[in-house]
Amino acid sequence: MNLKAAINGIKQKDETAFEFIYNSTSSSVYGIIKAIIKDHNKTEDIMQETYIKMIKSINSYNYKYNFKSWLLTIARNTALDYYRKIIKEEVIDVNENEHLFPKQKSVVESKSLANYYLSLLDDDEREIVVLFAMENFKHKDIANIVNKPIGTVTWLYNKAIKKLKEASKEVK
Amino acid sequence: MKEKEILKVIKDDIFEGTPNILSKIDLKNIPIEEPQTKKKTLCNPFKKLPVALVMGVFVLALVIFSIAYRPKNTPPNTLTKVSVTEKDKIVVGYAITGIQLVGNYSYEVQTLNYNKQITTINKQKEKEISNEMIDEFHKYFYFVEDYLELYNVDIEIYVNEENDYEYKMIVKVEKLFNVFDEYILYYDEKREIDDDEEEKEMKGILIYQNITYNFKSEEELEEGESEIKVIIYEENYNNRVEIEKEVEIDEYQYEYTIYKDNKKHEVVELEVEEGKIELVIEKEDAEHEYTITKINNNNFLITYDDDYIFNLFIDLNEKQYVYEYENEQIIKK
């Protein structure tokens, strides 16, 4: 099955088609949401919400555009809406989310090197690095998803990679 | 650790950590919203204007490059044809692209449907979308022809005695399929030469098919590199076309921007680097990208937004462009 057929399949409520789309995109969707929310449990909820929104609005998807970019834009907007909402309603417990982005080197060895790397980045940088890592998008595709100029995306990406390269020396 | 390795660590970790929530999504019970139809404006007074304007811009660029690259200290003389240097070849495509733009509104579109039995709604939708893509690509293919230098251009420059402008230039273009066109420009020019750098400004009018356009240009030329900016408009400066082009060794890039009511209306970029030709069209908040692979002088493979692939064959005998995708063929003349 190809992507186009799968999109048409979703319109016909074809479970196999949806599974194909899900398997092709879930890691990237998870990655971008996690980069914003930093809470594993909430990330699952927002993933679910993202896919529901995608299905509901599948008829508005235009084949001329990159499907993954479209889906990841939905994921990002859903995550940002959630993030803005909880910022208004409650104070985020940083320690509670520490397992996702551990900042101590000692934790890195037992947990995740990737999470340590991502914890070193600013929010904007993290989103861009995750999108680049997951889909190898071009900077202009990422610029469309994160709604920033290409120059800004390139600058943020280079800044982030510089930080990560430095960090990788320490980890060694 | 190298950049790729770092990205791989991040990717692998996210991949491993991705929860499986597939079972939590009940596809059957999620209502799918009806598509929202967006009506297009039937009357767009600017629709025709940019075509002519852009055409003019390209011709101007042609002129500017030809003058800039002609041997220094060779002033235009009455009835003396200016010799075309090797570097003038860079300019050839500009005229091609401009004229081709005009052609966009006159080509005949003929769709040969090889499979008359296509009846499903989905298939019809697919066909419509593909036609749309190819229509758009064809409208801008002259940019690629420009880069590939598929047109012939002949330029003559004279000291002008017909009006107040200093020079008169006649540009004759032979485009694909032996079609000819002609432009006349009257202009003044100001040139400053400093060591290896040269700056020049041109200002005047361009006449094509009895329509007069205003233009002005600024360019900087250095050894092996050139930058050019041209602005052209018919009457209202707010409805103008700006073109910027950079040529460096092993790199070729330009973009033109159409302004409507002083706001960006459409941007087209062509970039060629390491043999890869990318054509990007930005309009109505959308961006479309075509990557063109040249198989030979007449055959091209085009990838659209990384998802769709179609072929183009330039049929010189039948004088037509033949686009093929899936089991369909579209012919444009």
Higher pLDDT residue, B53 or B237? B237
Predicted TM-score (pTM) of the model is: 0.45
Going by pLDDT thresholds of 50, 70 and 90, the confidence category of residue B179 is: confident
Judging contacts by C-beta atoms under 8 Å, the chain B residues touching residue A51 are 21, 25
Pick from A40, A63, A74, A141 the residue to mutate for testing the B interface (most B CBs within 10 Å).
Answer: A63
Q: Tell me the average pLDDT of chain B.
A: 70
Chain B positions touching chain A (beta carbons under 8 Å): 1, 3, 5-15, 17-22, 24-25, 27-28, 30-36, 122, 126, 129, 132-133, 280, 286-288, 304-307
Q: Locate B238 and state its tokens.
A: 């707010």
Which candidate from A4, A26, A117 shows the least CB-CB separation from B10?
A117
First to last CA, chain A: 43
Between chains, do A65 and B35 touch, taking CB under 8 Å as contact?
no
d(C-alpha B154, C-alpha A157), whole Å: 47
In chain A, the residue whose alpha carbon lies closest to the alpha carbon of B127 is: A63
d(C-alpha B85, C-alpha B96), whole Å: 18
d(C-alpha B142, C-alpha B40), whole Å: 26
For the cut 90, the answer to whether the pLDDT of residue B37 exceeds it is no
| B187 touches B167 (CB < 8 A) | yes
d(C-alpha B50, C-alpha B135), whole Å: 17
d(C-alpha A160, C-alpha A138), whole Å: 16
Judging contacts by C-beta atoms under 8 Å, the chain A residues touching residue B14 are 27, 30-31, 34, 114, 130, 133-134
Secondary structure class of B30 (helix, strand, coil): coil
Going by pLDDT thresholds of 50, 70 and 90, the confidence category of residue B163 is: confident
Between chains, do A64 and B305 touch, taking CB under 8 Å as contact?
yes
Judging contacts by C-beta atoms under 8 Å, the chain A residues touching residue B304 are 64
Which candidate from B27, B132, B305 shows the least CB-CB separation from A55?
B27
| B106 touches B300 (CB < 8 A) | no
Q: According to the model, what pLDDT value does residue B51 have? A: 54
Instruction: Report the gap between the CA of A130 and the closest CA in chain B (Å).
Output: 7
Structure confidence by residue, pLDDT tens digits, A64-96? 678 898 999 999 999 988 888 776 665 444 444
d(C-alpha B143, C-alpha B152), whole Å: 15
Q: According to the model, what pLDDT value does residue A104 have? A: 40
Between chains, do B132 and A133 touch, taking CB under 8 Å as contact?
no
Instruction: Report the gap between the CA of B43 and the closest CA in chain A (Å).
Output: 24
Between chains, do A56 and B122 touch, taking CB under 8 Å as contact?
no
DSSP conformation class of B86: G
Going by pLDDT thresholds of 50, 70 and 90, the confidence category of residue B104 is: very low
For the cut 60, the answer to whether the pLDDT of residue B245 exceeds it is yes
For the cut 90, the answer to whether the pLDDT of residue B76 exceeds it is no
- Provide the ipTM: 0.84
Q: Locate B251 and state its tokens.
A: 């790199």
Secondary structure class of A160 (helix, strand, coil): helix
In chain B, the residue whose alpha carbon lies closest to the alpha carbon of A112 is: B13
For the cut 60, the answer to whether the pLDDT of residue B219 exceeds it is yes
- Residue entry with tokens 């790729």: B4
Which residues neighbour B220 within 8 Å (Cβ) at sequence distance 6 or greater? B197, B198, B199, B226, B227, B228
Report the amino acid identity of residue A19.
E
Q: According to the model, what pLDDT value does residue B210 have? A: 77
Pick from A1, A12, A24, A27 the residue to mutate for testing the B interface (most B CBs within 10 Å).
Answer: A27
From the list B66, B246, B258, the residue with the least C-alpha distance to B173 is B66
| B133 touches A62 (CB < 8 A) | no
Instruction: Report the gap between the CA of B305 and the closest CA in chain A (Å).
Output: 6
For the cut 60, the answer to whether the pLDDT of residue B126 exceeds it is no
3-state secondary structure string, A45-86?
Answer: HHHHHHHHHHHHCHHHCCCCCCHHHHHHHHHHHHHHHHHHHH
Per-residue exposure over A127-143, b if at least 16 CB sit within 10 Å of its own CB, e if not:
bbbbbbbbbebbbebbb
d(C-alpha A80, C-alpha A78), whole Å: 5
Instruction: Report the gap between the CA of A90 and the closest CA in chain B (Å).
Output: 26
Q: Locate B116 and state its tokens.
A: 């008359």
Highest-pLDDT range among A10-24, B212-226, B306-320: A10-24
**Half-sphere exposure (Cβ direction) of A131: Cα atoms closer than 13 Å:** 31
Which candidate from B18, B31, B286 shows the least CB-CB separation from A27?
B18
From the list B56, B60, B147, B43, the residue with the least C-alpha distance to B101 is B56
Q: According to the model, what pLDDT value does residue A111 have? A: 56
Which candidate from A34, A113, A132 shows the least CB-CB separation from B9?
A113
Which candidate from A47, A63, A140 shows the least CB-CB separation from B287?
A140
In chain A, the residue whose alpha carbon lies closest to the alpha carbon of B17 is: A27
Instruction: Report the gap between the CA of B160 and the closest CA in chain A (Å).
Output: 45
- Least confident interval from A151-160, B123-132, B309-318: B123-132
CA distances from B318 to B315, B322, B327, B333 (A): 6, 10, 21, 9
From the list B40, B185, B156, the residue with the least C-alpha distance to B98 is B185
Q: According to the model, what pLDDT value does residue B61 have? A: 65
For the cut 80, the answer to whether the pLDDT of residue B209 exceeds it is no
Higher pLDDT residue, B136 or B73? B136
Phi-psi region at A152: left, alpha or beta (left = phi > 0; alpha = psi -120 to 50): alpha
Highest-pLDDT range among A74-83, B206-215, B232-241, B269-278: A74-83
Q: Locate B110 and state its tokens.
A: 């003929």
- The residue-averaged pLDDT of B221-241 equals 75
For the cut 60, the answer to whether the pLDDT of residue A157 exceeds it is yes
Highest-pLDDT range among A27-36, A96-105, B88-97, B196-205: A27-36
